[in-house]
Amino acid sequence: MPTDVGKSVAIVGGGAIGLLSALELARQGLQVTLLERGDTGRESSWAGGGIVSPLYPWRYSKAVTALAHWSQDFYPQLGQRLLGETGIDPEVFETGLYWLDLDDEAEALAWAEREGRPLTSVPMAQVHSAVPPLGEGFGRAIHMAGVANVRNPRLTRALREALVRMPNVSVQEHCEVRGFVRREGRVQGVETARGDVLADRVVLAAGAWSGDLLAGLGLSLPVEPVKGQMILFKCAEDFLPAMVLAKGRYAIPRRDGHILVGSTLEHAGFDKTPTAEALESLKASAFELLPALRDAELVGHWAGLRPGSPEGIPFIGPVPGLEGLWLNCGHYRNGLVLAPASCRLLADLMLGREPIIDPAPYAPPGRAV
């Protein structure tokens, strides 16, 4: 059982993790204040592709796949509930995913057999039949049916709308958190540009910026920004029936014909500037995967900052030695994938409920100094 069981919570960060954490806690009757230095949902949550699966799930630890499996099963009902409550459709779009010419295909299939996941080897002729615009030159494929993507900007809009309709929630945008209020040996709120915001508990869900904020308390959190760049094409609605991935790059169809292609992995600090080099690299990958994109309209190119962490395992739980302070951050490339399970686990721990999965792998003690 948690020792700090107060009814008010301040959540630092308005991305998918912060928004969904707020919703989970507010639905349990807590008084929630969500603080975001810009507009909600406009950082990593907005910039990503929204595949509801790790790109290579067999390459991750059980800690990541446990969160991913729970979230994958939960996403369809989350999308339907948000649509019903807000009128905004997060567009959880089940397309399946093809991986092409994997070096570790045998490991992937062995993982799927162990985990009971629907991943199978398929002949290339079958892939070309299922995905007509796929380029030539690929020799092998595996396929996982049922994999969905979520339209992440609409997901965060729906989450925000659900929150602002709740009487026990305050969403404060353009309100930068600069530090923490410490009184009587515990964290009792945050310092912002508008003054102190007091709360019984504080949840840090500030993505790539979480480590910098904790440094102000003399703590070292191994979360750092990892830049990713994406491009967007506009095609016919039925152009791409399934997601495809090869050589570390993927193409994701939206229901309205937009095709996302990504992404880069760059260690460039907090610089989010899109670059000409990345644009050319992403276009080359796009045209190799789907040659017809050469004739499609390129409608977007942007960059975001993922919250990189060791092995991509997020930090979820109370901070040792700082009563009142909790973490839900460090999801690296899988924030949208892991968000439902991460936020449910956080709520379970904060409310003293039986956790949905073993919380030990995500606990800050021993992982944050």
Same-domain status, 119 and 230: yes
pLDDT at position 366 is 87
**157 phi, psi to nearest 5 deg:** -65, -40
Taking only the tens of pLDDT, the chain with its 369 residues reads: 333 456 999 999 999 999 999 999 999 999 999 999 999 999 999 999 999 999 999 999 999 999 999 999 999 999 999 999 999 999 999 999 999 999 999 999 999 999 899 999 999 999 999 999 999 999 999 999 999 999 999 999 999 999 999 999 999 999 999 999 999 889 999 999 899 999 999 999 999 999 999 999 999 999 999 999 999 999 999 999 999 999 999 999 999 999 999 999 999 999 999 999 999 999 999 999 999 999 999 999 999 999 999 999 999 999 999 999 999 999 999 999 999 999 999 999 999 999 999 999 999 998 876
Q: What is the CATH number of the domain that holds 321?
A: 3.50.50.60
pLDDT at position 185 is 83
Same-domain status, 195 and 297: no
Q: What is the CATH number of the domain that holds 140?
A: 3.30.9.10
Q: What is the 3-state secondary structure (H, E, C) of 180-243?
A: EEEECCEEEEEEECCEEEECCEEEECCHHHHHHHHHCCCCCCCCEEEEEEEEEEECCCCCCCCE
In total, the chain counts a number of residues equal to 369
Handedness of CA 168, 357, 334, 362 (dihedral sign): positive
Domain boundary among 308, 324, 344: 308
d(CA 129, CA 220): 51
pLDDT at position 369 is 66
Contact 230, 247 (CB under 8 A): no
Which residues span the domain enclosing 232? 97-145+224-308
pLDDT at position 304 is 97
pLDDT at position 184 is 85
Q: How wide is the angle at C-alpha 182 spanned by C-alphas 176 and 188, nearest 5°?
A: 75
Same-domain status, 177 and 284: no
Which residue(s) pair with 186 in the sheet?
A: 183, 323
